[in-house]
């Protein structure tokens, strides 16, 4: 396939902050960008050449996006896979393709794929009835996590289960006629992620391992490099590369993992698009995860996936008490800090409104600077 060169139009399904940052990278490289999203003035739409305001199931809108685009990608995996399949039926290329999307947006298919690919996963079972709930509790045990198979993110659509009564209550709350997944709770010591990008020829650029801290199931900070041994880091990066190769991904993707020990790392989830934990690459890497996405889907050579200096990326969440971010001047006095806001007007509680990245000569220095920035910023 011939390379799609600057001046062409790249289409995006989804108008959130990941699409926004993708659009920034694409525009800097000379591409036009068009997005489809149902929300007017979406974060991505604000910086694109055009936004089609329509639902992802609107076939006339999908036709319009396909006709205007030379290649199409998506910025989150909770869109309907039928939308990608419909675009593909119009002989338009979508990267990653609909098969990748179907596997990664269904937790049961995802876990089965990972297990069959020889990668470690926590024990799991499908739960589609109270009898299957009891069978999962008996065969896999407690404590466990009961999750919806599709649609959940940032802790939504899941519940911790510690006993039989809690299992039945979680089932009653989550079950809506579609299978749930029962996963054994893992005794891990760290949460890790690896962002990688695979091109159309199968070449993969793998970024350093990020060590992630979550608060209430939402990513709080990501630290690079992760505080693990070289042996463990090599294993994690090899696992991420294996996922991309086995699934046939073209584009940037992320593999989230549980670190148990140097020889035991379990894959938790696959995100078939740029990832929150990879935002540090905009400021602390030679080629960002978003530029890599542009390069991969356009058939261009991948960039270098190293990092410049140790970094800490911290999410900025709304608190529901105000819509203006204050303390910005104080935060920007901190050395090597880059602030990224997403153009969302309402800072609802736990809504991702932006992030900042700080670099340091050591990870400890970067952490100290991140703590100072977090203390400076508040909503009013």
pLDDT > 90 in the chain, percent: 94
Residue 142 CA to residue 182 CA, distance in Å, equals 10
Total number of domains constituting the chain: 3
Given a cut of 90, whether residue 169 has pLDDT beyond it is: yes
Q: Within this chain, do residues 174 and 308 fall inside the same structural domain, yes or no?
A: no
Instruction: Identify whether residues 242 and 136 lie together within a single domain.
Output: no
Residue 40 covered by a domain: yes
pLDDT at 153 over 80: no
137, 143 Cβ separation under 8 angstroms = no
Say if residue 156 is in the same domain as residue 276: no
Whether residue 149 has pLDDT greater than 80 = yes
- 173 lies in some domain: yes
Of 139, 162, 184, the last residue of a domain is 184
pLDDT for residue 178: 87
Q: Which residues pair with 265 in a beta bridge?
A: 259
Domain of 142, CATH number, reads 3.30.1490.20
256 with 235, same domain: the answer is yes
Among 184, 202, 227, where does a domain finish?
184
pLDDT at 141: 94
In a domain, 102, yes or no: no
Is residue 256 assigned to a domain?
A: yes
pLDDT mean across residues, the chain: 96
Q: Computed from CA positions of residues 286, 292, 294, 295, in that sequence, does the dihedral angle turn out positive or negative? A: positive
- Can you give the CATH number for the domain in which 32 is found? 3.40.50.20
What is the token pair recorded at 68? 């205007």
Buried b (16+ CB within 10 A) or exposed e, 232-250: bbebbbebbbbbbeebebb
Region of poorest pLDDT, from 132-136, 149-153, 309-313, 335-339: 149-153
Residue 159 lies in a domain: yes
* Residue 351 in this model has a pLDDT that exceeds 70: yes
Are 148 and 69 members of one domain? Answer: no
Same domain for 90 and 210, yes or no, is: no
Residue 184 has what pLDDT?
95
Asked if the structure places residue 209 within a domain, the reply is: yes
214 touches 191 (CB < 8 A): yes
Are 33 and 154 in a shared domain?
no
Same domain, 247 and 357: yes
Q: How far apart, in whole angstroms, are the C-alpha atoms of residue 51 and residue 317?
A: 25
pLDDT of residue 78: 86
Judgement on whether residues 154 and 266 belong to the same structural domain of the protein: no
CA distance 347 to 294: 30
Distance CA 316, CA 313 (A): 10
Please check the confidence at residue 152 and state whether its pLDDT lies above 70.
no
- Is residue 52 scored above 80 in pLDDT? yes
Assess whether 338 and 372 both reside in one domain: yes
Tell me whether strands 311-317 and 325-326 are parallel, antiparallel or unpaired.
unpaired
Confidence (pLDDT) at 154: 62
58 occurs within a structural domain: yes
Which has the closest alpha carbon to 374: 334, 344, 321?
A: 334
Q: Which of 143, 163, 184 is the last residue of a domain?
A: 184
The dihedrals phi and psi of 100, each to the nearest 5 degrees, come to -60, -45
End-to-end Cα separation, the chain, in angstroms? 51
Do 58 and 205 sit in the same domain of this protein? no
Range of the domain at 236: 190-379
Q: Cβ(309)–Cβ(284) under 8 Å?
A: yes
* 235 shares its domain with 327: yes
The pLDDT tens digits for 89-142 are 999 999 999 999 999 999 999 999 999 999 999 999 999 999 999 999 999 999
| Cα distance between residue 374 and residue 380, in whole Å | 15
d(CA 267, CA 236): 9
Q: Give the pLDDT confidence score for residue 150 in this predicted structure.
A: 86
On whether residue 109 sits in a domain, the answer given is no
CATH of the domain at 221: 3.30.470.20
Q: Give DSSP secondary structure letters for 84-102.
A: HHHHHHTT--BSS-HHHHH
Tell me what the mean pLDDT of segment 272-291 comes to. Answer: 98
pTM comes to: 0.96
């Amino acid at each position: 396939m011939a390379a799609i060169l600057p001046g062409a139009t790249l289409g995006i399904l989804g108008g959130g902050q990941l699409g926004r940052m993708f659009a920034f990278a694409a525009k800097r490289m000379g591409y036009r960008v068009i997005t489809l999203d149902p929300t007017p003035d979406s974060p991505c739409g604000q910086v694109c050449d055009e936004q089609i305001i329509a639902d992802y199931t609107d076939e006339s809108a999908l036709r319009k996006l396909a006709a205007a685009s030379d290649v199409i990608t998506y910025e989150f995996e909770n869109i309907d896979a039928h939308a990608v399949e419909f675009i593909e039926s119009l002989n338009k290329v979508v990267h990653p393709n609909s098969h990748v999307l179907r596997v990664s947006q269904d937790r049961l298919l995802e876990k089965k794929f990972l297990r069959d690919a020889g990668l470690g996963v926590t024990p799991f079972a499908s739960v589609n009835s109270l009898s299957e709930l009891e069978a999962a509790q008996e065969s896999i045990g407690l404590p466990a996590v009961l999750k919806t198979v599709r649609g959940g993110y940032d802790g939504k659509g899941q519940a911790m289960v510690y006993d039989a009564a809690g299992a039945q209550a979680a089932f009653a709350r989550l079950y809506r006629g579609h299978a749930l997944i029962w996963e054994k709770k893992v005794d891990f010591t760290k949460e890790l992620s690896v962002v990688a990008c695979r091109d159309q020829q199968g070449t993969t650029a793998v970024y350093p391992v990020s060590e992630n801290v979550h608060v209430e199931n939402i990513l709080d900070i990501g630290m690079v490099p992760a505080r693990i041994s070289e042996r463990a880091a090599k294993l994690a990066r090899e696992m991420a590369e294996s996922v991309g190769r086995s699934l046939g991904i073209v584009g940037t993707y992320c593999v989230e993992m549980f670190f148990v020990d140097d020889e035991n790392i379990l894959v938790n989830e696959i995100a078939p698009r740029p990832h929150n934990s990879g935002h540090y690459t905009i400021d602390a890497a030679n080629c960002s995860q978003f530029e890599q996405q542009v390069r991969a889907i356009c058939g261009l050579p991948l960039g270098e996936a190293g990092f410049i200096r140790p970094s800490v990326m911290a999410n900025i969440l709304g608190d529901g008490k105000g819509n203006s971010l204050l303390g910005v001047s104080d935060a920007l006095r901190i050395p090597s800090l880059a602030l990224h806001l997403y153009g969302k007007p309402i800072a609802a509680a736990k809504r991702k409104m932006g992030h900042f990245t700080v670099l340091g000569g050591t990870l400890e220095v970067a952490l100290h600077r991140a703590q100072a920035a977090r203390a400076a910023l508040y909503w009013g």
